[in-house]
């Protein structure tokens, strides 16, 4: 059991101490965990300016010492990517040591998808989804990340406006994203939080994962995207079984 996407109170949107998260992981049979706290560069974001690298590394070291022999702990981050902040991201990463850098797209045209009531109304399906996938493509191509997070996160709220998500109308750009992931030697994340949310399927869903395999992709990471102790490990076993049935057998706790 591996969970490669877990948040703690080092993220501005989570109140769980790292030690508490580790105990919850052990209780749920997790043997390998990667903490991926948010690093955000958009000033309007809840997590903006919250990440303290020195404190984070100290907490990782403390947790590793406390749970040695019980839990393998990796030091990762989830970087919120936009082209506008690429230079800032590059500067931030210089001289810092992480086991795993997860690239994620949450914003479209300066607006976070969680503000869905301000983003989706009045848009066609293409107008709503296409800009998100363009940002995800840029994240995959930039060369900064070990893995690409929740490739089709746009469906989290999009399903409330357009109904169940069908990826095939977006096949062309999704294929470009997957080819960029493969070409960069990245992993593709299977994010299980969608099983707990409105889409009721992983990010990305099975169809996209099957396309990834057909294109030659093999390496995946699996993460719960937990922001509470109760969600740590949620859906991971189910996602691992799906990945193995597809042929995505290179399931790793970290991408480095």
Handedness of CA 129, 133, 220, 149 (dihedral sign): negative
SS3 assignment, position 222: strand
Here the tokens at position 71 are: 């839990």
Q: Is 118 exposed, middle or buried (0-12, 13-18, 19+ CB in 10 A)?
A: exposed
Q: What's the helix, strand, coil split of the chain in %, to 5?
A: 40, 20, 40
Q: In the prediction, which pLDDT does 254 show?
A: 61
Q: In the prediction, which pLDDT does 215 show?
A: 98
Here the tokens at position 123 are: 């848009």
Q: pLDDT tens string for the chain (256 positions)?
A: 899 999 999 998 899 999 999 999 999 999 999 999 999 998 887 778 889 999 999 999 999 999 999 999 999 999 999 999 999 999 999 999 999 999 999 988 888 888 899 899 999 999 999 999 999 999 999 999 999 999 999 999 999 999 999 999 999 999 999 999 999 999 999 999 999 999 999 999 999 999 999 999 999 999 999 999 999 999 999 999 999 999 998 877 665 5
Cβ burial 142-180 (10 Å sphere, 16+ → b, else e): bebbbbbbbbbbbbbbbbeebeebebeebeeebebbbbb
Spatial contact of 8 and 231, defined as CB atoms under 8 Å apart: no
**CA distances in angstroms from 148 to 24, 70, 94, 104, 153, listed in the order given:** 25, 28, 20, 6, 11
Spatial contact of 208 and 167, defined as CB atoms under 8 Å apart: yes
Strand locations in the chain, DSSP E?
Answer: 2-6, 32-39, 72-80, 100-104, 107-108, 111-112, 147-148, 187-191, 219-223, 250-252
All structural domains of the chain, each given as residue ranges with its CATH number in brackets, are 2-252 (3.20.20.140)
Q: In the prediction, which pLDDT does 251 show?
A: 79
């Amino acid at each position: 059991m591996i969970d490669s996407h877990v948040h703690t109170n080092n993220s501005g949107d989570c109140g769980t101490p790292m030690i508490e998260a580790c105990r919850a992981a052990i209780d749920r049979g997790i043997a390998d965990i990667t903490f991926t706290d948010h690093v955000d560069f958009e000033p309007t974001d809840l997590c903006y300016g919250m990440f303290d690298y020195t404190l984070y590394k100290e907490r990782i070291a403390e947790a590793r010492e406390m749970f040695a022999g019980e839990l393998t702990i990796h030091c990762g981050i989830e970087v919120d990517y936009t082209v506008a902040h690429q230079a800032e991201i590059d500067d931030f990463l210089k001289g810092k040591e992480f086991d795993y850098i997860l690239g994620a797209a949450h914003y479209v045209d300066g607006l976070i998808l969680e503000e869905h009531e301000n983003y989706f109304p009045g848009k066609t399906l293409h107008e709503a989804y296409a800009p998100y996938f363009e940002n995800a493509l840029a994240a995959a191509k930039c060369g900064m990340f070990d893995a690409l997070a929740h490739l089709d996160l746009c469906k989290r709220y999009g399903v409330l406006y357009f109904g169940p998500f069908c990826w095939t109308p977006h096949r062309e750009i999704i294929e470009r994203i997957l080819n960029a992931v493969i070409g960069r030697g990245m992993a593709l994340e299977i994010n299980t939080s969608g099983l707990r949310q409105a889409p009721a399927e992983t990010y990305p869903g099975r169809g996209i994962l099957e396309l990834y395999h057909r294109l030659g992709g093999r390496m995946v990471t699996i993460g719960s995207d937990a922001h509470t102790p109760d969600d740590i490990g949620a859906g991971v076993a189910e996602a691992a079984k799906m990945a193995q049935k597809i042929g995505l057998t290179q399931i790793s706790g970290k991408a480095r």
